[in-house]
Amino acid sequence: MPSAIEQIRKTVNREEFDYQVLTSSLKGYSYPRDKITNLLREGQIIRVKKGLYIFGPDYRRRPYSREILANLIYGPSYISLEYALAYHGLIPERVEALTSVTTGRTRTFTTPVGVFTYHMIPLPAFQVGMTRVELDDGGAFLIATPEKALLDKIFVDRTSEIRTLKGLEAYLFEDLRIDQDLFSKLDKSAIFDYVNHYSSAKLQLLSGLLRKHQRQESEEGHA
């Protein structure tokens, strides 16, 4: 009979799996919980959080996906904010923490595979502006579009005093260091639509800033 880890690896195709999948793969054992305890102790599997696991380094077939884990650790949620801005190339910094939005309480999870943060946004805003990314191995995760990630970041940021167009521009291009060329290429009609799903004076300012840029571009085009 194959060892417990061999049996799990034979039946579990993904690198990320939950407790139900784990116990199902051990159904031939009399005491699967004891087996799981031993597997964890020996580092053959790693508990990301209660009920969610990945294989240990010696038993991985491919790198696990932190993006998929972000969707699974706390839900409903999808990746947004700084991590999504970096993913889409809007900000230059590499972002280590996986940042997501949710309709639940704002939470932070410190796990063996990194820090995962979740910020609450209104349900109407949560329901728009997400896209599904398909991975080569058949997995997939949900992430905000560039436009939605930017709106979410402005919305949840409580540290910045964004009260004027000038203040908003300083926040975007000095604090966040948003790439101005990519900013100019954002889908403005999508942003105007998404703004209506929040109740936020800061995001209304963003709409005003984009309309100002549109006027400037139009005047330059007719010059």
Per-residue confidence in pLDDT tens, the chain, 223 aa: 679 999 999 999 999 999 999 999 998 888 889 999 999 999 999 999 999 999 999 999 999 999 999 999 999 999 999 999 999 999 998 899 999 999 999 999 999 999 999 999 999 999 999 999 999 988 999 999 999 999 999 999 987 678 899 999 999 999 999 999 999 999 999 999 999 999 999 999 999 999 987 787 776 766 5
What pTM does this model have? Answer: 0.93
| Residues contacting residue 192 through CB under 8 Å, at least 6 positions apart | 207, 210
| Res 1: pLDDT | 63
Radius of gyration from C-alpha coordinates of the chain: 22
Question: Which amino acid makes up residue 11?
Answer: T
Distance CA 170, CA 67 (A): 30
In the chain, helix, strand, coil percent, each to 5?
Answer: 45, 20, 35
Question: Which amino acid makes up residue 75?
Answer: G
Cβ neighbours of 44 (radius 10 Å): 20
